[in-house]
Amino acid sequence: MDGKYYLTIPIFYPNARLHMGHAYTTTVGDVIARFHRKDGNEVYFLAGSDENTEKMVRAAKKEGKEVKAYLDEIAHSFVALYDRLGISYDQFIRTSDEVVHWPGVREVWQRLVDAGYIEKRTYTGLYCVGHEAFMTEKDLVDGRCPDHDEAPQELSEENYFFLLSRHTETLKEKIQSGELDIVPAARKNEVLALLESGLEDISFSRPKEKMTVGVPVPGDDSQRVYVWGDALVNYISALGFGTDNDALYKKFWPADVHIVGKDIIRFHAVIWPAMLLSAGIPLPKKILAHGFLTSGGRKMSKTLGNVIDPVELLDGYGAEALRYYLLRYAYSFEDRDITKEHFHAAYNADLANGIGNLTSRIMKMATSYLNEGVSVAAGAYDASFEDAMREFRFSEAMDIVWGMVAELDDRIQKEQPFKVVKEDAQKAEQMVTELVKKLHVIAYHLEVLLPETSRVIKESVENHVMPESLFKRIDE
C-alpha cells in the first residue's frame, strides 16, 4: 500500500432510475473506499453518469423533456440515492460535462491517432439498441440479444475504428502475469480465453446524424466519439487528465481498482487497457467483477422490467438494512437471486431480532448492573475477517460478523446474567462487562460495512447509555 487508493464504479446510464443492481455496485464501492480510508490511505472514490448516448436522448423524448433538464433530473436522483445510502464518493462525473470530461476524451483520441491506432472504415453489422453496440452472431440466442430480448438491426456506416487487435499479445501477457489483475480468477480466465480466440478492431465513432450528443471527433466534425471511446475515459478525465488542472491525475492514477459488473468486464479488461497502452498511459492495477442480481432467474434490468426499486426498500427499512442485505445476500462473484420477501425475512431475523435485539439486551443489562461504562480496547480485526475484506469477499465478512452476533446471543442464553445478578452481582457484572467488550468489537468490524449501526453501538457503549433505536421489527 503506498498511502493512496483510487477506486471507481461504473458510470451508469441515465435512461432510467437506478435499481438494486446499481445500488449493489455502489455499496460495494463504498465499503472498499471506507475500508482503505480506515487503513490510513488517502482514498479517491469516483462515481458518475454516462450521458452521451442516444438511448438517453430517446428516454428524454419519451418523457417529453429537454435533454439537459432530463439529464439534470436523473443525475440528481443518482446523487440523492447515493446520499441516502451513505455512499462516501469524492466526485460525481457527468460525461456531458464539456469542461470536466471532454478535454480528456479529445486528448486520448489524439494520442490514439498519433500512435496510428485509429482508422476510417465502413462497418456493417448487427446493432443492438439496448447495448448500444454492434454484436456478433455468437452473442445472439435464436437471433436475439439475450440481455435485451430484442433482435438487433443490420446497420452499415462509416466509422473510425480503434485497432484493438494489435494489442492482443501484450494484453494477454499483462493479464497472465497479474500486472493487470482480474478478480475473481474465473473472470480472468474468461478474458484470457477471449484474448486467445483473437480480438476484432472496434468502431469508436458514429456519424453525427446517428449520434446527436457527445464529443465531436477531433479533426472531423461529422462524427462523434462513440460509447467506449468516450465513457471509459471518465476514469482519468475526472482527475483532470488532458487539462492543466491535472494534480489529481498525477496523484491518483493508475487506479487501484475498477469495480464492475461482469457484463462490462470485456470493456474494462480489454478495450480500456488497450486504449491506455496505445496512449502511453499506465494501466489500472485491478478489475473487480461481481456477479448479477437476478430476479425470477433473469438478470435484473430496466430493459426486462424485473427490477426491485432500492428507494422502496430505503423508505421501508432504511439505508443500513439495504446495505446489509446487498453485502450479505446479494454480493457474490456469481449471480444471486433476490426477492422482497427474502429481504423482509432477513431484516427481521438478522437485524431486528439479531443485532438490534442483542445490542439493546446487552446495553440494558450494562446500564442497569454497571455503575460506570466499560473501558474498551482499541479495535483490531479478526484475521479471517480482514482477509475476506482485502480479497473482496464481503458476503463472507458479513457472515463472520453475524457469527459473532450469534455467539453473543448463545452466551447470554447459556450464562443468563439476568438470573445470576440476583445471587452474585459481581459475577453478573463480569459477565456483562465481557459482553459489552465483545459488542464493541462487533461495532468495530461493522464500521465500514454498516457505518451508522456501528456508530450507534459504539456511542451507546462509550457513553454507557441505551442505544438509539436500531432496526425495529417490521410486521407485514
Give the pairing of strands 293-295 and 286-290: unpaired
Q: CB-wise, 263 or 309, nearer to ligand MSP?
A: 263
3 state SS of 223: strand
Q: How far apart are CA 81 and CA 330, in angstroms?
A: 18
Q: CB-wise, 27 or 278, nearer to ligand MSP?
A: 27
Q: How far apart are CA 281 and CA 388, in angstroms?
A: 31
Residues 28-57 interacting with ligand MSP (rule: CB under 6 A):
50
Sole binder of ligand MSP in the list 126, 145, 231, 287 (CB under 6 A): 231
For residues 244 to 263, the per-residue mask of contacts with ligand MSP, x marking binding by CB under 6 A and - elsewhere, is: ----------------xx-x
Q: Does position 331 bind ligand MSP by CB under 6 A?
A: no
Binding footprint of ligand MSP, residue count (CB under 6 A)? 21
Q: CB-wise, 329 or 381, nearer to ligand MSP?
A: 329
What is the grid cell recorded at 367? 446500564
- Smallest separation, CB 46 to ligand MSP (Å): 10
Q: Strand locations in 252-291, DSSP E?
A: 257-261, 286-290
- Smallest separation, CB 433 to ligand MSP (Å): 43
Sole binder of ligand MSP in the list 57, 264, 408, 420 (CB under 6 A): 264
Stretch that binds ligand MSP, among 11-19, 111-119, 206-214, 433-441 (CB under 6 A): 11-19
How many C-beta atoms lie closer than 10 Å to residue 46's C-beta? 25
What angle is formed at CA 69 by the lines to CA 65 and CA 72, rounded to 5 degrees? 135
What count of Cα atoms within 13 Å lies in the side-chain half-sphere of residue 298? 11
Sole binder of ligand MSP in the list 134, 226, 292, 325 (CB under 6 A): 292
- Smallest separation, CB 467 to ligand MSP (Å): 33
Q: Does position 238 bind ligand MSP by CB under 6 A?
A: no
Contact 287, 180 (CB under 8 A): yes
How many C-beta atoms lie closer than 10 Å to residue 73's C-beta? 14
Q: How far apart are CA 186 and CA 49, in angstroms?
A: 28
Residue nearest to ligand MSP (CB): 21
Helix then strand count (H, E) for the chain reads 20, 16
Q: CB-wise, 335 or 434, nearer to ligand MSP?
A: 335
- Smallest separation, CB 268 to ligand MSP (Å): 7
Q: CB-wise, 104 or 261, nearer to ligand MSP?
A: 261
Q: CB-wise, 10 or 356, nearer to ligand MSP?
A: 10
- Smallest separation, CB 25 to ligand MSP (Å): 4
- Smallest separation, CB 211 to ligand MSP (Å): 15
273 prior amide bond cis, ω within 30: no
Residues 297-316 interacting with ligand MSP (rule: CB under 6 A):
299-301
Q: Strand locations in 291-377, DSSP E?
A: 293-295, 298-299, 336-337
Contact 259, 28 (CB under 8 A): yes
Sole binder of ligand MSP in the list 182, 215, 293, 470 (CB under 6 A): 293
Q: Does position 105 bind ligand MSP by CB under 6 A?
A: no
Cite the DSSP H helix spans in 179-239.
185-196, 228-231, 234-237
Intra-chain end-to-end CA distance of the chain, in Å: 47
Sole binder of ligand MSP in the list 5, 22, 211, 460 (CB under 6 A): 22
At how many degrees (to 10) do helices 425-446 and 357-369 cross? 140
Binding site for ligand MSP (CB under 6 A): 10-13, 21-22, 24-25, 50, 231-232, 234, 260-261, 263-264, 292-293, 299-301
